Amino acid sequence: MTDLTAEQTQALIARLTTLADDDLLLSHRDAEWTGHAPILEEDIALANIAQDELGHAMGWLELRKTLDGSDPDVLAFRRGPEKFCNSALTELPKGDWAFTMVRQYLFDAWEALWQDAAKASPYGPLAQAAALALREKRFHLQHTALWVERLALGTPESEWRTREALNAVWPYALGLFEPLDGERSGIDAGLLPDPAQIKARWLPLVTAHFERCGLTPPNAVPVARGTHTEHLAPLLTEFQDVNRQYAEVTVW
């Protein structure tokens, strides 16, 4: 299928940009651990996850480029915070190891399920990109699920840190399933997965895992997509620092 309506193109662009922004910011937060992780093996593992997330972000932006000719580097380095459409979940500071692992686990579960559903999209380039990313995403999910378990069933300290992290992150994670403006026509045409259906798979999956780990997610109101925290602007200031300092350089 190659004939997209203007509305469907806009729906795809909206979703691809959101996916890219989430992956980009999460990659940034994960990479903040490189050289500072609790064990050397995690300097390696989390750096790997951070690279995969960045690679996925690049993949989504490349797909967007085929739809509207936009430049991935310009989108990443020259947009201000008001133009970013990531979930606030991904912009929160890295916190402690429990926070990083719980956030990544919840995000991995969401994205793996979304990618799994997107494999069936009749829009071929999206289905292919989703299948490719999903292979890596499954490894992330295994890794972070095990960390959540280790920490929750480790020591009293690691248990409370994990519980605190879950309480803090949960409302933001629920916000991942908010539909995007303009996405409806893509969902109705079957081009894009329906976030409500993804949530219906995600909720029992993660709740069962937390239950095995002796944890219960709190009752919480989702933080709506489009709501940003005070952490996004300084994150982008750092992220875009060198690129913006040399405004006339186009090739790095």
Partner 1 sequence: MTATLKIQANTDQHTETAEQHAAFEARIAGGEKIEPGDWMPAEYRRQLIRMISQHAHSEVVGMLPEGEWISRAPSLRRKLILMAKVQDEAGHGQYLYHAAETLGATREEMVDALLSGKAKYSSIFNYPTQSWADVGMIGWLVDGAAIKNQTMLAGCSYGPYSRAMVRICSEETFHHKQGKEMIVQYAAGTPEQRALAQDALTRWWWPSVMMLGPHDKDSTNSGVMSNWGIKTKSNDQVRQEYLNEHVPELLELGLTLPDADLHQDADGNWIHGPINWDEFWDVVKGKTGLNKERLATRNAAHDDGAWVREAMLAYGNRLRAQAAD
CA-CA distance, 132 to 129, in Å (whole number)?
5
**Contact between residue 128 and residue 175 where contact means Cβ atoms under 8 Å apart:** no
CA-CA distance, 83 to 46, in Å (whole number)?
28
Indicate which single residue of 1, 5, 38, 78 sits in contact with partner 1 (rule: CB under 8 A): 38
Interaction of residue 48 with partner 1, rule CB under 8 A: yes
Rg (CA), the chain: 18
Q: Of 9-17, 127-135, 203-211, 236-244, which part binds partner 1 (CB under 8 A)?
A: 236-244
Indicate which single residue of 36, 78, 83, 212 sits in contact with partner 1 (rule: CB under 8 A): 36
For partner 1, the closer of residues 31 and 233 by Cβ is: 31
* Region 103-142 residues binding partner 1, contact defined as CB under 8 A: none
CA-CA distance, 176 to 44, in Å (whole number)?
28
Residue recorded with tokens 């790997």? 48
For partner 1, the closer of residues 158 and 197 by Cβ is: 158
Interaction of residue 157 with partner 1, rule CB under 8 A: yes
CA-CA distance, 185 to 20, in Å (whole number)?
20
CA-CA distance, 109 to 16, in Å (whole number)?
18
CA-nearest of 199, 111, 107 to 144 is 107
Site string (74-93) toward partner 1, x via CB under 8 A: --xx----------------
Q: Of 3-11, 25-33, 175-183, 189-197, which part binds partner 1 (CB under 8 A)?
A: 25-33
Interaction of residue 246 with partner 1, rule CB under 8 A: yes
The residues near 39 (Cβ < 8 Å, ≥ 6 apart) are: none
Supply the DSSP symbol for 84. Answer: -
Site string (51-70) toward partner 1, x via CB under 8 A: x--xx-xx--x---------
Indicate which single residue of 7, 96, 116, 164 sits in contact with partner 1 (rule: CB under 8 A): 96
For partner 1, the closer of residues 62 and 178 by Cβ is: 62
Residue recorded with tokens 């929750």? 152
The residues near 118 (Cβ < 8 Å, ≥ 6 apart) are: 126, 127, 130, 192, 193
Site residues, partner 1 (CB under 8 A): 28, 31-32, 34-41, 43-44, 47-48, 50-51, 54-55, 57-58, 61, 72-73, 76-77, 96-97, 149-151, 153-155, 157-158, 161, 238-239, 241-243, 246, 248-249, 251-252
